[in-house]
Amino acid sequence: MGRIKEILRLTAQIKKQSVSMQRRLLLYWFSMVLAIAAALLLILSVAGVFNNQSQKVHETLQLQLDNAQIQLEQHMESLEAYTIALSEQISRELDSLLTENGMTVADLNDNPELLQRLQENLMPRLYMALQLSRCSGAYLVLNATTNTSSDKASHSASGLYLRYANFHAKGAADQDVVFFRGIPEIARAERLELHNRWNLEFDTDLFPGYDAWMQTEVGRLADSCRWTERFRLTDTWEDVQLLCVPILDKSGKVCGLCGMELSSLYCYLSYPELNSSFGPIITVLAPVEGTKLLLDKGMNGSADGTFLTDADTLSIRDGRYFSTYSSGSDRYIGLHSETEVLGADGGLSVAVLIPESTYAACRDTNRLVLILCSLLLLATTAGLSVFLSKRFVQPILQTIQAIRSEEVTGEGETGISELDELVAFVSSRSNAKALQRENVLPPDMEELFRSFADRAKTLSTAERTIMKYYIDGHEITEIPELAFISIHTVKKHNSNIYQKLGISSRDELMLYIDLFRRLDRLNELTDTP
């Protein structure tokens, strides 16, 4: 309690101490600056400028995720629609051919002529499906083989597989198609090149899930569209995912598969990375298992400018604004969402990813810019406060200095009316004191004396001699004797003297002479001009 009292006492003493006007003004300015800065910070934080890089990146990611999801779902849906139509066409063609020949699907085995006829009939449909769809290949495979006695008959199935040889995402109008699987005569008739690793039939052991498909009971085709997981297409340099839609015989049993191929290159070219202010945004369509995003089983857009590879499996950690995806060596931020696209083991998710390092660098840069901006604002306003305070007190100081050196004239010189008034007041008081101290006449009096002295200079020599006698204290009657002139002449001179000096009587003259004497300025009246 005693200590508080002591502090209060000290504060009171400090308050009583005199503080310079500039310092006080500076303090006011600075308080105002701080108040403005605080208000600005409040407004900015309410507006979400601070911190909300996370919010901004979330918005960017969400927008891209929504776009990518729509784009991918439409793409996949259109492929599914084409493939369902293709499957139905194949079923009709198959049914028609088998009915015409009185055969069943099983009779296609060991019947190369019929298989060739069937492939000839189906080739235009497959070719058209390939050209109309946004895909890198199209295939159809029937559960029958040319030669059941061949060593590989148990895992060999006849079919057609066309692929683009040199795919470019932008235009599919005139792209080279190669004949990957099928009867070579059909390729030659169509003037198509055989693939460098052409084979007559499909090796079903290499076709993911083929055997399971052949055992599947299928209701509606639309409910039976599935994408395989990504796998390396044997004898090629590309990874692919195949859309599988069953081909049904007339009894509704699965007798083959058809579908479209999406190669990793197709996805790379079709879904380029998007440049955002936070870094490149990569789009992927891949399965999520638990907390893992399996890129090695999905279709990935271009990841140019990042270290992301198709082989990565990313561990997901959810966050408030975005999830973090870690490959072990690299981290990404992003969002993902389940799509309607079905993979082998359930739905596939679309994910959009940004390298965490580019995001963090942009975020840190923004923070630093903000801090530097604040510092700059503070420094500028502080500097401005000092400058304005100085500027404000400068005339006061100058006036004080002038007063000290007694150079003030009392006229408005500072440009500040209050100050001029003060100066005038101080000046008048100091003038009065000076007059008192140094017999200095007030200006109007001085003027009066000076004009009188000037007029005295107009007197003639005789008149000045007469006035000199008055100054010396002689009476009018003594002057004729002293000056050797008549009294009449003296009176005449007197009359001239009064007229020239602007007075009317000798008493008035004597009053002036008395005043000049008191001021010790008689010489001004007696000195010859």
Partner 1 sequence: MKRFLSILLCMLLLLPAAGCDSAREEQPITLTIWHVYGGQTDSPLNDLIEKFNQTVGKELHISVQVTSVTNTNTIHEGVLAAANNDPGTPELPDMFISYPKTVLAMPDEEILVDYRDYFSEEELSAFLPAFIEEGTIHDRLVILPVAKSTEVLFVNKTLFDRFAAETGVTLKDLDTWEGLYETAVLYAQWSGGKTFFVHDYHFNYLQVGVESLGGTFFDEDGIAFSPAFSKAWEPYAEAALQGGVWLYGGYATEPLRTGDTIASVASSASVLYYSDIVTYSDNTSEEIEYIVRPCPVFEDGDKLVMQRGAGICTVRSTPEREKAAMVFLKWLTAPEQNVELVTRLGYMPVTQEAFDTYLPQAIEELEDPKYRELYRAFLQTQEEYTFYTSPQRDDYLAIETSLEEQVRLLLSAAAKNYQAGDDLKAAAQAVLQELKTYYGK
Task: Name the site residues for partner 1 (rule: CB under 8 A).
Answer: 112, 145-147, 150-153, 156, 163, 165-171, 173, 176, 178, 183-184, 188, 191, 193-201, 235-237, 265, 268-269, 277, 279-280, 302, 304-307, 355, 357-358, 360-362, 364-366, 368-369, 372-373, 375-376, 379-380, 383
Cα→Cα distances 147→45, 121, 181, 467, 510, Å? 76, 21, 16, 164, 161
Among candidates 218, 240, 217, 238, which has minimal Cα distance to 227? 240
Nearest residue (CB) to partner 1, 48 versus 383? 383
Paired strand residues for 262: 241
Contact 59, 105 (CB under 8 A): no
CB 227 within 8 A of CB 246: no
Instruction: Give the nearer residue to partner 1 in terms of CB position, either 176 or 527.
Output: 176
Q: Looking at beta carbons only, is 183 or 525 nearer to partner 1?
A: 183
Q: How far is the CB of 143 from partner 1 (least distance, A)?
A: 15
Query: Quick one: 225 or 308, whose CB is closer to partner 1?
Result: 308
For 18, the token pair is 């005199």
CB of 326 to partner 1, least distance (A): 16
Rounded to an integer, what distance in angstroms lies between the CA atom of residue 409 and that of residue 405?
Answer: 11
Return all residues near 71 (Cβ < 8 A) that are at least 6 apart.
271
| Residue placing its CB nearer to partner 1 in the complex, 198 or 512 | 198
Task: Report, in Å, the least distance between residue 61 CB and partner 1.
Answer: 17
Neighbours of 292 (CB within 10 A): 14
| Residue of 164, 152, 243 lying closest to 201 (CA atoms) | 152
Nearer to partner 1 by Cβ, of 359 and 449: the residue is 359
327 vs 313: CA distance, rounded Å:
6
Rounded least distance, CB 112 to partner 1, Å: 7
Q: Given the complex with partner 1, which of 71 and 175 has the nearer CB atom? A: 175
Report, in Å, the least distance between residue 139 CB and partner 1.
15
Q: What one-letter code names the amino acid at 89? A: Q
CB of 283 to partner 1, least distance (A): 16
Smaller CB separation from partner 1, 95 or 190 = 190
Rounded-to-integer distance, Cα 204 and Cα 155, Å: 5
For 429-468, b/e burial (b = at least 16 CB within 10 A) is: eebeeeeeeeeeeeeeeeeebeebbeebeebeebbbebbe
Task: Identify which of residues 82 and 278 has a Cβ nearer to partner 1 in the complex.
Answer: 278
Handedness of CA 413, 414, 418, 421 (dihedral sign): negative
Closest separation in Å from C-beta 383 to partner 1? 6
Nearer Cβ to partner 1 (254/377): 377
> Smallest gap, in angstroms, from Cβ of residue 275 to partner 1?
10
Q: How far is the CB of 98 from partner 1 (least distance, A)?
A: 21
CB of 207 to partner 1, least distance (A): 16
| Residues contacting residue 141 through CB under 8 Å, at least 6 positions apart | 157, 158, 159, 161, 181, 202, 204, 207, 210, 256, 257, 258
At residue 120, the 3 state secondary structure works out as helix
Cβ at position 103, least distance to partner 1 in Å: 19
Burial of 199 per CB tally in 10 Å (0-12, 13-18, 19+): middle
Q: What single string gives the DSSP state of each residue in 22-43?
A: HHHHHHHHHHHHHHHHHHHHHH
Which has the closest alpha carbon to 77: 336, 348, 353? 348
Closer to partner 1 by CB, 181 or 336: give it.
181
CA distances to 45, 116, 158, 275 from 58, rounded to whole Å, are 18, 56, 50, 15
Shortest distance, position 410 Cβ to partner 1, whole Å: 39
Contact 267, 75 (CB under 8 A): no
Nearest to partner 1 of 78, 199 (CB atom): 199
For 220, phi then psi, to 5°, come to -90, 140
- Residue 457, both tokens: 């200079």
